[in-house]
Structure 1
Amino acid sequence: MRHDEGYGRYADDDWVRGSVAALPPKAKATPAPEPQPAPEPQPDHGTEPPGSPRFTGVDGLRGLAVLAVLLYDTGWFAGARLGIDVLLVLSGFLVTLPLVRRADATGRTDAGPFLARRFKRLFPALVVVLTTTPALVHAFGSPRTVRDLSRQIPAALWPVSVTAQFCLVWPLLLGLLCFFLRRRIAAVTTVVVLLLAAFAAAPLLPLPDGFAHAVTRSHSVALLAGAAAACAVHLAHRAVAHRTGRRDGRGHAPATVLLSVTGFAALAALAALTMAGAVASQVPVALCAALLTAALSTEHGPLVRLLSASLLAELGRMSYSVYLLHVPVYWLLRHGQPRITDYALLLVGGTVTWLLSLLLHYLLVERLGARPWQTRRAVR
């Protein structure tokens, strides 16, 4: 929600003219109201209309995904890049849903302000990690260590690059779709699903090696699966709002039961794919993660309560900072202690990553996200 600069102002006091004797008996001047402090500015998510819900279950799923990444990098989890694929699906979902809501409510996606908000929430933290880590290593290590670290960190942060490219391109494409399809969200959803099917089938088609490689490496399937889930969730919430008048996506009990069953089935399918070692195929992982994300887009159900645990949801809200920081922390621990065990790496590295993520998230990311980046004229 946007911070209204008008809040906190109060009218000037009404001064009584004339002598006190002229006042009626027992009449007393009204005391001047005490000035109230202006409310604290809230994070400007901007692209969502008023009343848009926030799904704590989705935050919990993000926490599980980044925890899977930490476990995989310590050698405790054999699920390959399952956590990264789920994070990419969630990125597609969380980027698309506010844009679709805005387009349906106002007729435009406001791609420019959206990109500005994403930039100020993501780029400063990335710059801090990429600049301070080599500087600290240079202060306490050798130039060779700095060169090795400079090559390792960008190579490990490729999901951030993929997500940034999606944030740059997708709002513009989605805005064009909404314009040409005249804000018919059902038609936009159909086009997004067709795009998902095309990219999912690309590796099976006789395409040139370069194109097929680009499609596979860009992880478009995971991002588009999340985008399709966001469009479907918005259509479902809009139907519920038209039928019941509620804007928070709550439906009837049968719908909640259906979503819970779907979510548990998708979660079980992800676990089965992990145990079978089939997570190298991104299509089933992306589809299961998209179904699970859609099932969590409500405030009811046992699965939502399970994934809405405070610690898990907090980890999900800090997932970007955790992912950025765990790469240099794990690398430095392995470099400084080559014989460190996986258990010690998870315990020490996870704890250090958590503490640094708290500082980075709440002292930088949230503060910049709550601060409007436009000049205002001073009121005299």
Structure 2
Amino acid sequence: MPVTSAQGIVATAPSSAGSTTRHGYTYLPALDGLRGLSVVAVLFFHAGHLRGGFLGVDLFFALSGFLITTLLIREVESTGRVDLRKFWGRRMKRLMPAALATLIVTTVLLAWYGQVAEQAHALNDGPWAQFYVANWHLLRGSGGYWASFALPRAFGHMWSLAIEEQFYMVWPVAMLVCARIGARYQRVLVGLIVVGCAASVLTMVLLYDQANPTRVYMGSDTRASSILVGALFATTVMRRAVSAVHRAIGPLMQWLCVGLVVVLGIGWATIDGPKSSWLFQGGLFGHSAAAALLVALCAQTPHGRVSRVLGTPPLRLLGTLSYSLYLWHWPIYVLANEERTGQSGWSLLGLRLVVSLAAAVASKYLIEDPVRFHTGWLRGSPAVLSFVGVMALGALFWAMLPQPDTAPAAFDPARIEALRPTTSTTALPAAPGSNLGIPGATSTTFGKQRISKVLFLGDSIAFDEQPAIEAAIRAAKVEVEVAAFPGFGVLSEKVDVWPIYTDTIARFAPDLVIYQLSVWDLGTVAQQRVAYERLVQLVRGNGSSLLFVTPPPFAAMDPKSTLPQLPDIAVSLAQRDPTRIGFVESVAAWGIAFALDIDKDGVPERKPDGTHICPAGAARFAAWLTDELARRYDGFTPAPVREWALGGWRDDERYRVPLGICANVR
């Protein structure tokens, strides 16, 4: 989240606003108000209550570019140069103390109270966050930006601060080079900004991957445009343009401000990041441009109605605390989860917000302000040595802490064997909250057939189940193949599975195809029915039988999700042709609701993202599935769990990444 050392100030004439700072800058409360709104959007987004709240970061980017460039232009106009040492010194004094405190305090608390995965991520991410390259580090092993907030990564939000600091390192150098051109340096500056924006947006478009847009969302190169467009509005050329528009339209300027606020607000409330491909094809830049224009208009009309509303004391206060709030809120969200607090929903959010606000106030008044305003004596070589010393101590802190054991937790096959048999082929009602939330979804069965080849299809959930399924079915002396990957589903917008399914079925010629209902099978009832009927036709056309299987229950689901419709569609298809098509509810394998550790033995069956599977869960599901196949088909005899559950598949990378994702739980 961007922050400047002069929050809410611009280098304009004192008469244009209510007060002037001791440095000669004009203080604009509206800009602090915008900062306050933005951090609130981020806080609610990370709590799952504001779908497009992640766009608050883009407003921060634009505002930061505007303010920093304003300060740098003022310095060039006054002195003819940019003092890089002083500029970078101010940045470090403003940003580093609170950031380092957040990293250290959070890591210590996680060492006492955290799960292995939380500890491992803190130790792995912390050094990169300290040196402001967290975004590139997170990109190396990221499973996706939006998915990351379901995982215990306490410093996962530091990517935006890294981008900001990288901008602070590069931009003043560019300004200094432009300043040496002479009186017309701003023309060159505007050209540089325009070229930079165009290159950044083009890079985002070219590198965009619909299956995982994280690279373009968190890359410094692809996000530079969001900061540079703010810088553009800080130039004299754009200030004059905004002023000319103000003179031309007069009072209508306020309606333009209102329109921008409404458009941004609607976007924050409704835009679904991972499903909005247009965002990464110019949409993010458009949002940042609108935000930058709003910033410029508020700076131009500080006494306007919109500026006065944005400058009200509550928003202004949140704006002054925005950096601290952003730093502390996500570690607090990770620490204060449902399991530790016993709270959920709005009560949990209220608790988190209160603690975050308290931490932000303490950080500002006990750490940030004392360093900013009471260390004026620390200049020159002593300042440099102090900075180097602090960074070295931080590095030593990370080096000295012991690394937790992040290996997947070992499970006891006997515990799974003891659960067999666990199902019946009679109807199984789905309890409220189970699986896809369909009341009355039932298992169907068909006449016994002999099978020698099984094909299992699914998405990332099935991908996690794959090693155990392959081991268990092969132990039963039956051939098996699995086509399961993230993003797979018959209605997936990310992957066209039909050529893959068609080729695989034709090549492998399975007797039975098992399809696990996919979280990517979104759409209307009509679309879902058409897709499932197409799957039925594909399977039957190759002489195979089809068995629909429900996925495990999820920790949370969008109330507007269309997934709960899927079991009814599958059941209706099975009832049309009960000899070739079946449906089975997997509640007997997973229980009626999500549980990280189903049997409370410290070995997790599920991953903390609320969706995916650990080795113990994969083995549990495979044992249940093979029992189900034995009841439905001739010639299928499940092997004892111990014969296949102790193989090397348990240490597969999918259970190790992210770090500690399937480690023992406390």
- Amino acid across the alignment from 1:87: F
SS in 2 for 1:337: helix
Confirm or deny: 8 A CA contact 2:10 2:27 kept in the other structure: no
Alignment of 1:139-154 (within 5 A): 139-140=112-113, 145-150=118-123, 152-154=153-155
Counting helix residues as a fraction of each chain, which structure ranks higher? Answer: 1
Residue 194 of structure 1 deviates from its aligned partner by 3.4
Choose the corresponding residue for 1:330, options 329, 333, 346: 333
* Larger RCO, structures 1/2 (Cα 8 Å, 6+ apart): 1
Q: Deviations over 1:107-150 (max 9, x none)?
A: 11222211100101101111101011111232345666522544
Q: 1:233 to 1:326 in 2, by over 3 A?
A: farther
Q: In structure 1, how many angstroms separate the alpha carbons of the residues matched to 2:215 and 2:359?
A: 36
1: distance between equivalents of 2:243 and 2:53? Answer: 38
1:261/1:200 CA distance change after superposition, 3 Å: farther
* Inter-partner Cα distance in structure 2 for 1:104 and 1:234: 16
Q: Which of the two has higher C-alpha Rg?
A: 2
CA distance in 1, matches of 2:24, 2:380: 27
8 Å contact from structure 2 (residues 58, 287) kept in 1: yes
Q: Larger deviation: 136-145 or 54-63? A: 136-145
1:374 to 368, 379, 382: 379
In 2, the alpha carbon distance for the partners of 1:293 and 1:222 equals: 13
Corresponding residue of 2:227: 223
Match of 1:32 in 2: none
Aligned residue runs from structure 1 range 295-314, under 5 A = 295-297=297-299, 298-314=301-317
- Deviation string, structure 1 residues 11-35 (Cα, Å, up to 9, x no partner): xxxxxxxxxxxxxxxxxxxxxxxxx
Residues 267 and 288 of structure 1 are in contact (CA less than 8 Å); yes or no, is this contact kept in structure 2?
Answer: no
TM-score, length basis structure 1: 0.74
Quote the residue 1:38 is aligned against.
none
AA aligned opposite 1:261: W
Does 2:289 match 1:287? Answer: yes
After TM superposition, list the pairs within 5 Å mapping 1:75-94 onto structure 2: 75-79=48-52, 81-94=54-67
Select which of 267, 273, 288 maps to 1:273. 267
Deviation for aligned residue 1:236: 3.6
- Displacement of 1:214 in angstroms is 6.0
Match of 1:121 in 2: 94
- C-alpha contact (below 8 Å) 1:60/1:313 kept by paired residues: yes
- Larger relative strand fraction: 2
1:315 aligns with 2:288: no
* Code of the aligned partner of 1:292: L
Identity of aligned residues (%): 27
Q: Cα–Cα, structure 1 residues 321 and 341, in superposed 2: closer, same or farther, change >3 Å?
A: same
What is the TM-score when the length of structure 2 is the normalising length?
0.44
The answer as to whether partners of 2:59 and 2:291 remain within 8 angstroms in 1 is: yes
User: Relative to structure 1, is the Cα distance of residues 183 and 101 closer, same or farther in structure 2, using a 3 angstrom cutoff?
Assistant: farther
Give 2:291's aligned amino acid.
Answer: A
Q: Deviations over 1:146-185 (max 9, x none)?
A: 2254451232211111111111111111211222354533
The answer to whether the aligner puts 1:341 opposite 2:344 as a matched pair is yes
| Contact 1:65/1:86, CA 8 A, preserved across alignment | yes
Question: 1:334 and 1:262, CA in 2 relative to 1: closer, same or farther beyond 3 A?
Answer: same
1:350-361 equivalences under 5 Å are 350-361=353-364
CA RMSD in angstroms comes to 3.5
With over 3 angstroms needed to count, the CA separation of the structure-2 counterparts of 1:303 and 1:123, relative to structure 1, is same
Task: Indicate the residue corresponding to 1:261 in structure 2.
Answer: 255
Tell me: CA distance 1:138–1:207, structure 2 relative to 1, closer, same or farther (3 Å): closer
Give me the whole-angstrom Cα distance separating, in 1, the residues matched to 2:119 and 2:262.
43
Letter in 2 for 1:277: I
Residues 114-263 of structure 1 aligned to structure 2 (within 5 Å): 114-140=87-113, 145-150=118-123, 152-180=153-181, 182=183, 184-204=185-205, 217-218=219-220, 219-232=223-236, 235-236=239-240, 257-263=251-257
Which has the larger displacement, 66-75 or 101-110?
101-110
Measure, in 2, the Cα distance between the counterparts of 1:68 and 1:331.
18
Say if 1:262 and 1:102 are closer, same or farther in 2 by CA, change over 3 A. Answer: farther
Gaps of 5+ in 2: 13-22, 126-152, 382-666
5+ long unaligned stretches in structure 1 = 1-42, 241-250
Check the 8 A contact 1:203/1:216 in 2, yes or no.
Answer: no
Which of 62, 68, 73 in structure 2 is aligned with 1:100? 73
SS in 2 for 1:153: coil
Deviations 1:63-82 (A, max 9, x none): 00000000111111010521
